[in-house]
Amino acid sequence: MSEGEAPKWTCPVCGYAGLREPPVDPTGSPTYSMCPCCGTQYGADDLEKPHAELRKAWVETGAQWWSQNEPAPEGWDANKQLQAAGFADGGPRN
Ligand SMILES: [Zn+2]
């Protein structure tokens, strides 16, 4: 394992690709980490609702950056992020 290289994960709800902790650990257990982008807590919020529903709720409330402690990356764009992750509503579905 090489240190100094921070691995990043993608949020299954909003598509944010800069997560510092994975939503689930290698055994498949939720890490209870939170997405700084959409505010989903893995293992809690996504136990109650499927990712698609959480995503819809996030988009419907304006797709705002959630975290107060971790600022959005420069030039962050919710729509571009959703599109890049293949989650865009109204976009081509294939
Ligand atoms: Zn997210």
3-state SS class at 48: helix
Ligand 1 centroid to 16 CA: how many Å?
Answer: 5
Distance CA 81, CA 34 (A): 17
Ligand 1 centroid to 23 CA: how many Å?
Answer: 10
- Chain segment 70-94, per-residue pLDDT in tens: 999 999 999 999 999 999 864 444 4
pLDDT score, position 6 = 80
* pTM across the whole model: 0.86
Pairwise pLDDT comparison (91 vs 65), residue with the higher score: 65
Ligand 1 centroid to 41 CA: how many Å?
Answer: 9
Ligand 1 centroid to 77 CA: how many Å?
Answer: 13
For residues 24 and 42, the answer to whether their CB atoms sit within 8 Å is yes
Ligand 1 centroid to 10 CA: how many Å?
Answer: 8
